[in-house]
Amino acid sequence: MDYQLDILKKMQGLKQVRKSIQDYTEELYRILSRSDHVEVDKEKVAHYPNGLRPSIEEELSLVQVTNIEEAYHFSLIVEEKLRKKFGNKSSGKDYGGRFGG
């Protein structure tokens, strides 16, 4: 299999599911670092929310972010807000989204 195609599939298949925002973001950066393709910020920002839990992805879609760091920091805030709202200390819960916990 073509290495670049494999990297692209990994990036497209990356899902937060039970990961924290930090773990999800670190995994995305690991995948991007293996790619020969240098993505511009717009491409990274476009890929970032695709694998997030639906509840976090929905909140992120309501704001305009220009780089992955902004998306990451906003997602951390949403994750914490949802954790407090639902009283769950585990980062593995979906807080009402489609993946369950």
Place of tokens 């990961």: 19
Q: How confident is the model at residue 64, as a pLDDT? A: 94
Q: What is the pLDDT of residues 64-80, one digit of tens each?
A: 999 999 999 999 999 99
Q: What is the pTM of this model?
A: 0.77
Look at phi and psi of residue 15 and say left if phi exceeds 0, alpha if psi is from -120 to 50, else beta: beta
Domain residue ranges in the chain = 3-86
Instruction: Please give the CATH architecture assigned to the domain spanning 3-86.
Output: Orthogonal Bundle (1.10)
